[in-house]
A and B are shown apart, each in its own frame.
Chain A
Amino acid sequence: MTGLRYVYAVCHPFGTPLQSQLSGVAGDPPRLLHHHGLVAVVSHVPERDFAEGPLRSHLEDLDWLTATARAHQGVIDALTVVTTPLPLRLGTVFRDDSGVRVMIEEREESLRRTLERLHGRVEWGVKVYAEPEPADGAQGGAGSDDGVPAGKAVSGRDYLRQRRMRMRTNENMWERAEAFAGRLHETLAAFAEDSRLHAPQNATLSGASGRNVLNAAYLVPREESEEFVELVDRQKDDVPGMRVELTGPWAAYSFAGEE
């Protein structure tokens, strides 16, 4: 198959074969392109989808984007099992193999430096969600505090008092959430070799509730991963209103950029 070359990652040569049923973007299994002692992991992709114009419009098609992102991540994931890949951003496309080789030559030094820095490390993602307390509970609490029965506000003042209590409860919750997230991040960052704070996901994921107050990535040596996971498990125990979500091991996406 001719066509263009889609590059997923650059890595050091590795001995273990990739899992065989792996199909990359556009259904073409990833191939290894060796050059100057480095390996580019590439798929052959058709011009009709990956030339500039089509690619640009595909990127705005959610279904295409989703499928391509999952395929890209699938290949990176498979690579992460056998080596330490340097993941490229989605949609890095060259005309042909020689274009890929030129890229490797031009960037050889910095690619090697980054590969060296990330060698044997993986990325773990940790997110904290704070769950707001149900408004009814707060209202009841406000009522019972001062002996006024909870329920419908009978006057503007009652209404306001109840409203203030609710707001205070929520403020306390956010303060607690931020304090918890801060402590958790401090603990995990101290264990990890490096960390990145990402923008909180503006997300209410299907079925999940709560506000994302921490979205962080931690760079951890592979052989210390088990310990890291246990550390996260210990920290997240029994904190009411907080949900800790761990994802990984990822390739070191968040740490692949130049320092």
Chain B
Amino acid sequence: MTMPSRVPEPYGQGSGANLADILERVLDKGIVIAGDIRINLLDIELLTIKLRLIVASVDKAKEMGIDWWEDDPALSSRARRDELARENAELRERLARLEQLEPARAEEENP
């Protein structure tokens, strides 16, 4: 079988290959054939792997592009801070609305 020689140089693969790109393909794509050793990757569930990652090595997980826990208040102090910030902003917004209503009400009451 012959292949044309003009294939472009690989882009982004090799040393620069993003680990998440590789894992996405080798774990999640490709054909699924049940071997004699029956491991269903869906049983392992990447979620399980991800959870272990958090415990094991956050930096490594980030390198892999796995950072969903950062938005989960149960798992991340940063997310909890964000949640507080959001609550804070909501309260400010309500306060400002009240501030806006206040003069109008004052006019109504004292025409």
* A residues with CB within 8 A of B: 4, 7, 12-15, 50-52, 55-56, 59-60, 62, 65-66, 69-70, 72-73, 76-77, 81-83, 86-95, 99, 103, 107, 114, 120, 122, 125, 155-157, 159-160, 163, 198, 201-206, 222-223, 225-226, 229, 245-250, 253-254, 256-258
CB of B56, distance to nearest CB on chain A (Å): 6
Q: How large is the interface on B (under 10, 10 to 19, 20 to 34, 35 or more residues)?
A: 35 or more
Contacts A95-B36, A206-B62, A206-B63 given; indicate if A87 touches B68 (C-beta within 8 A): no
* Total number of residue pairs linking A and B with CB closer than 8 Å: 183
In the complex, what's the smallest C-beta–C-beta distance from A80 to chain B, in angstroms?
9
Question: Which residues of B line the A interface, CB within 8 A?
Answer: 1, 3-4, 6-8, 10-13, 17-33, 35-39, 41, 44, 48-49, 52-53, 56-57, 60-68, 89, 92-93, 95-96, 99-100
B37:A223 contact, CB within 8 angstroms = no
- Determine if B4 and A223 form an interchain contact, defined as CB atoms under 8 angstroms apart: yes
Residues on A with beta carbons closer than 8 Å to the beta carbon of B20: 201, 203, 205
Write out the residue numbers on chain A whose beta carbons fall within 8 Å of the beta carbon of B23. 65, 69
* CB closest chain-B residue, reference A111: B31
Nearest B residue to A223 via CB reads: B4
